[in-house]
Amino acid sequence: MTEAKTRRAAAPLLLLIALLLAATTARAQKPAQPDAAQTQAALRTLSVAGSVLYVAAHPDDENTALLAYLARGRGVRTAYLSLTRGDGGQNILGSEKGALLGLVRTQELLAARRVDGAEQFFTRAIDFGFTRSPEETFRFWGHDAALSDVVRVVRLFRPDVIIARFPTTGEGGHGQHTASAVLAGEAFDAAADPARFPEQLKEGLRPWRAKRLVWNVFNFRSADPPKDAERVLSVDVGGYDPLLGRSYTEIAAESRTKHMSQAQGTPERRGPAPNYFAHLKGEPATRDLFDGVDLTWRRYAGGETVAPLLEEAARKFDPARPQAVLPQLLASYREMEKVSRRDEAGRVPLVEAKREALRGVILACAGLWVEATAAEPYVVPGGEVKVTTTLVNRSDFPVRLETVGASSAGVDLPRRAGPRTLQSPAAGARRRARGARGTDAARHAPLRRSR
Ligand SMILES: [Zn+2]
């Protein structure tokens, strides 16, 4: 197929993507428009097909330097599973305690993830206050209920590597810390066992075995390696990213500072930041956390068609003309969907996450402005609200508007706009759709919270 044909075929898809993205990220702020360096950094991570899950007990337990290094530096899909929402902690900002404080700290975690690039999961476990004992912790949480939630996240996310923040020995101090390590170890095995929590399999989840489980060894108070450093894996997470203009430890400090209710602001650090990992389960690693894991698209059936398209896009990316790589990006978007469909479950979580990220890169490369504003800030179920959607094509790439709609956030927006070509580059197009209808879908909040 010639490039011109590819471009024509691709154009309608382009705008449908834009609209779905707009629907899922609508909030009362100006849409973020990444610059060319951020777009190039995002493009780089699309080529990496690996994932890692970090497990601890509370908001602020997570190692944000490691999360930033993994998500931004290595480009692997990265998530933090905080077993609780920190309901039992202190609040230096306001009077919220208990569940209300849990809400505050949930938002602080989500804000931190938007900075360091990782995703966020929780379980139903409640932070009931300090205890030294994992046994007491399980009396409050219910061991099997908590384990079931951790197993569910592992089966949902399918991490290549699981990292526990704390050891099972009690050195983590808080009994909930120790319990998080116990659960990470038990979930490593239980997630792979179809006999454990079979009700999850009936819901469409599948057993999953990570390649390995490691402990992110403490090294808080010393610049020196831990005493048994020769037996643990060492990874420097202090690298500098010229595209972002920051090192991962600088990003980490900004992420950490989002834990405002706990006064967790920390100064930015630069230079080497060695982290240490002790082997716990699975195949031991000797050189890298992802030893033996294929981090390329070739790990998936059909992925061999995705890899060269993304590689070509990365090679040809021109910051002054990012739209020039849209044909490769649109083609890889379609190929990713085929890869996901080939999986026996009909979808691969990592592939779906990469497709979502690719949608953002496509929008950024096209310079498309997509914005939806509502006349009223809220709508009750069954009510109506007028929504005005503004679309501006600011590149010379041909774009056709197929439809205007929304399929998430509990909003059912009638699709009223007909096909129309968006003029480029100077002229914009403005489409208006009325009558968004509130539904009760938002009540069924999923366990996973996107970043
Ligand atoms: Zn903690």
Average pLDDT over residues 61-88: 96
Q: Indicate if 170 and 66 belong to the same structural domain.
A: yes
* Cα 184 to Cα 17, 79, 128, 146, 282, distances in angstroms: 37, 14, 20, 11, 13
pLDDT, tens digit, 9 for 90 and up, residues 298-338: 999 999 999 999 999 999 999 999 999 999 999 999 999 99
The CA 62 to ligand 1 mean position distance, Å, reads: 8
3-state secondary structure of 119: strand
Least confident of 3-17, 151-165, 179-193: 3-17
Q: Other CB atoms closer than 10 Å to residue 435's CB: what's the count?
A: 12
Using 50, 70 and 90 to split pLDDT, how confident is the model at 398? Answer: confident
Name residue 79's beta-bridge partners.
53, 119
CB 309 within 8 A of CB 335: yes
Q: Is the pLDDT of residue 409 over 60?
A: no
Flag whether 39 is in a domain.
no
Query: At 74, which CATH number?
Result: 3.40.50.10320
The CA 149 to ligand 1 mean position distance, Å, reads: 18
Flag whether 34 is in a domain.
no
Using 50, 70 and 90 to split pLDDT, how confident is the model at 12? Answer: very low
Distance CA 2, CA 403 (A): 27
Flag whether 289 is in a domain.
no
Helix (H) / strand (E) element for 136: namely: helix 134-141
DSSP-derived secondary structure letter, 449? B
Average pLDDT over residues 42-67: 96
Flag whether 85 is in a domain.
yes
The CA 264 to ligand 1 mean position distance, Å, reads: 12
Q: Indicate if 357 and 377 belong to the same structural domain.
A: no
Residue 267: cis peptide before it, omega within 30 degrees of 0 = no
Average pLDDT over residues 128-141: 93
Per the structure, the count of domains in the chain is 3
Using 50, 70 and 90 to split pLDDT, how confident is the model at 403? Answer: confident
pLDDT, tens digit, 9 for 90 and up, residues 410-444: 656 656 656 666 655 443 434 443 434 433 333 22
Per the structure, the complete domain to which residue 146 belongs is given by 50-282
Q: Which of 282, 305, 326 is the last residue of a domain?
A: 282
pLDDT score for 423? 57
User: Which chain residues have CB less than 5 Å from ligand 1, an ion?
Assistant: 57-58, 61
3-state DSSP of 253-297: HHHHCCCHHHCCCCCCCCCCCEEEEEEEEECCCCCCCCCCCCCCH
Q: Is the pLDDT of residue 121 over 70?
A: yes
Flag whether 236 is in a domain.
yes
Q: Is the pLDDT of residue 25 over 50?
A: no
The CA 273 to ligand 1 mean position distance, Å, reads: 22
Q: Indicate if 200 and 320 belong to the same structural domain.
A: no
Q: Is the pLDDT of residue 445 over 50?
A: no
Flag whether 89 is in a domain.
yes
pTM, full prediction: 0.85
Beta strands 161-164; 212-217: pairing state: parallel
Structure tokens at 409: 């956030």
Flag whether 25 is in a domain.
no
The CA 257 to ligand 1 mean position distance, Å, reads: 16
3-state secondary structure of 432: strand
The CA 274 to ligand 1 mean position distance, Å, reads: 22
The CA 61 to ligand 1 mean position distance, Å, reads: 5
226: left (phi over 0), alpha (psi -120 to 50) or beta: beta
The CA 178 to ligand 1 mean position distance, Å, reads: 10
The CA 175 to ligand 1 mean position distance, Å, reads: 9
The CA 101 to ligand 1 mean position distance, Å, reads: 15
The CA 60 to ligand 1 mean position distance, Å, reads: 7
pLDDT, tens digit, 9 for 90 and up, residues 233-291: 999 999 999 999 999 999 999 999 999 888 877 888 899 999 999 999 999 999 999 99
Q: Which of 235, 258, 282 is the last residue of a domain?
A: 282
The CA 340 to ligand 1 mean position distance, Å, reads: 36
DSSP structure string for 161-193: EEEESS-TTSTT-SHHHHHHHHHHHHHHHHTT-
Q: Indicate if 105 and 58 belong to the same structural domain.
A: yes
pLDDT score for 418? 60
CB 410 within 8 A of CB 423: no
Least confident of 20-34, 96-110, 377-391, 437-451: 437-451
Q: Indicate if 249 and 355 belong to the same structural domain.
A: no
* Cα 61 to Cα 15, 57, 102, 265, distances in angstroms: 40, 7, 15, 14
Q: Indicate if 323 and 345 belong to the same structural domain.
A: yes
The CA 174 to ligand 1 mean position distance, Å, reads: 7
The CA 122 to ligand 1 mean position distance, Å, reads: 14
The CA 58 to ligand 1 mean position distance, Å, reads: 5
Three-point CA angle 238, 240, 246, nearest 5°: 105
The CA 57 to ligand 1 mean position distance, Å, reads: 6
Q: Indicate if 105 and 156 belong to the same structural domain.
A: yes
